[in-house]
Amino acid sequence: MLMASAASLSFVSSFTDNSLFSSGALVSGPKLIFSQHPPSGSRHKSKSIVIVSRKISGIEEAMRIRRKRELQSKSKVTKRPPLRRGEVSGRLSVPDHIPKPPYVNTSLLPEISREPQLHDSEGIARMKAACELAARVLDYAGTLVRPSVTTDEIDKAVHKMIIDAGAYPSPLGYGRFPKSVCTSVNECMCHGIPDSRQLQDGDIINIDVTVFLNGYHGDTSKTFLCGNVDEDAKSLVKVTKECMDLAISVCKDGVPFKKIGKKISEHAEKFGYSVVDRFVGHGVGTIFHSEPIIIHNRNDRPGHMVEGQTFTIEPILTMGSIDCITWDDDWTTLAADGSLTAQFEHTLLITQTGAEVLTKY
């Protein structure tokens, strides 16, 4: 998961200074201005009136759903406490015989490769192996989610499973990230660092797993429910996964990348949710992060999908504002208003007829 800069349209990790961004960070389509009353002396065809009415109806419905959720939230007696950081334990070791990605030996954040990840038959086979392992590790991590378990315990279990398979946990040492997996709880949008905080009954947690196996990265994430989760949180998680699945359904050779953001935005808005625009999907393969940059909200960014290409789709949805704050660890990024967020991610292989999901849960 990368963070996008509107100022330069370059793409960097989440510890970029927030001052680079303004509300609605990335490029979006032209704004639509609706008028309920035609200007004096003008003539309007009935067809365009119907189209405008339909657009207004969709927006009003999204606003109605959000307002209803806000009123329901205010009526609840108990309120979810804000996320607090725990103690971060020391970095875990990796056996010397396990191959490591080149960034491990430097504290600098790797630049985003401008070349898309295109693979021959051998490369595809290796990508599939890395992605299959990432999916199995994520499944296992999900079985550990329950009240009283710490995210540090999840990290240790994930780390062991990855190195036992002869792979390297890709996040470890990436731009000084200190852990082997990202664990983002409740209002944490992404890049949560595992620590001593215990999961609570009713939490939701995104676990983001990437493994480096035989020279290839496999990348995937999923939001899990912890204990008795309320219906609002369940709905957010469900719709977020639906957004990812709908975006995947439009992918195939020759399709413009911007269709991904359009599909996600349309579905999220039906339920009054916002799509976080600061974090994007990316090409993945022998390099952890590369072109193409996958924008999850409406946009006019050029480019189209090519057969043999691999990249991630990983939308983040929130119940409230898309504004965010980053802790001084330079990674953990939270919704500024404390709203719940959810995320799902798959690595895809583009084919002539569609997209093969390489990280099936």
Which segments are annotated as binding site for a divalent metal cation?
A: 208, 219, 282, 314, 345
Q: What share of the chain is helix, strand, coil (3-state, %, to 5)?
A: 30, 20, 50
Rg of the chain over all Cα atoms, to the nearest angstrom: 21
Nearest CA to 247 out of 219, 280, 206, 208 is that of: 280
**How far is residue 271's CA from residue 159's CA, in Å, rounded to a whole number?**
37
CB atoms within 10 A of CB 9: 11
3-state class of 332 per DSSP? coil
The tokens for 33 are 């201005």
* Annotation: binding site for substrate: 191, 289
Packed helices 121-143 and 151-164: angle between N→C axes, nearest 10 degrees: 140
* Annotation: binding site: 191, 208, 219, 282, 289, 314, 345
**Contacts of 118 by beta carbon, 8 Å cutoff, 6+ apart:** 306, 308, 309
Q: DSSP for 166-196?
A: T-EETTTTGGG--SSSEEEETTEEE-PPP-S
Cβ(7)–Cβ(19) under 8 Å? no
